[in-house]
Amino acid sequence: MVSKKHPINAGYRRSSVTSPYGLTRETQRALTRMIAAARAKGVRIVVRSGYRSYAQQKQILASKIREYGSESLARRYNAAPGRSEHQTGLAVDLWDGVTWGVGVRNTKTGKWLWANAWRYGFILRYPNGKEKITGYAFEPWHYRYIGARAKDFGANSNQTLEEYLGLA
């Protein structure tokens, strides 16, 4: 569990890293299967972001604070270093290669992911309306690999990982 309330330190190292996205081997295998299944249904899934180092996450947050002109606004969507699941190699940002932002939810890709990602071990990590629990605004592009436990979430789930683990 990595979140605003459950950080990791700068020395944390993920295990069994793969290319090209820096994910753990298990996460990459599941992602490859999910992308192939989506493609077979005519759905295009593109990885926008995978692993990020502590330094990279720090740089991203600083850039977003400048872009938004507000630290509190930037932190609604962007984690501080040590508080990003991307640092674990278990999280990916997915889209169709065209529509980014909250609009992802209305794309063929976004709808397919929400209905099917659990079959491949992924959950929508920051569901709509759960910002008080997760600490982050709705991100229909951010998926976290949790393996076989994703079956407990099922299709179109708004359950958070915090709720599932009894941390909410």
- Percent pLDDT > 90 in the chain is 95
Does residue 108 lie in a domain region?
yes
Assign 62 a pLDDT band (cuts: 50, 70, 90). Answer: very high
Does residue 121 lie in a domain region?
yes
Question: What single DSSP character describes residue 98?
Answer: S
Does residue 16 lie in a domain region?
no
**Looking at the 3D structure of the chain, how many domains does it have?**
1
Does residue 20 lie in a domain region?
no
pLDDT above 90 (res 16): no
Does residue 153 lie in a domain region?
yes
Does residue 17 lie in a domain region?
no
pLDDT number for residue 15: 79
pLDDT above 90 (res 20): yes
Higher pLDDT, 58 or 10: 58
Burial of residue 47 (CB within 10 Å: 0-12, 13-18, 19+) is middle
Select which of 26, 85, 139, 162 is catalytic. Answer: 139
* Overall average pLDDT of the 88-95 stretch: 97
Q: Is 139 a catalytic residue?
A: yes
| Tens digits of residue pLDDT in 100-126 | 999 999 999 999 999 999 999 999 999
pLDDT number for residue 14: 84
The CATH number linked to 75 is 3.30.1380.10
pLDDT above 90 (res 155): yes
> What is the span of the domain harbouring residue 64?
25-164
CA atoms within 13 A on the CB side of 124: 28
* Overall average pLDDT of the 128-150 stretch: 97
Q: How far apart are the first and last CA of the chain?
A: 12
Angle at 155 between CA 152 and CA 158, to 5 degrees: 80
Does residue 65 lie in a domain region?
yes
Does residue 77 lie in a domain region?
yes
Residues 125/150, Cβ–Cβ less than 8 Å: no
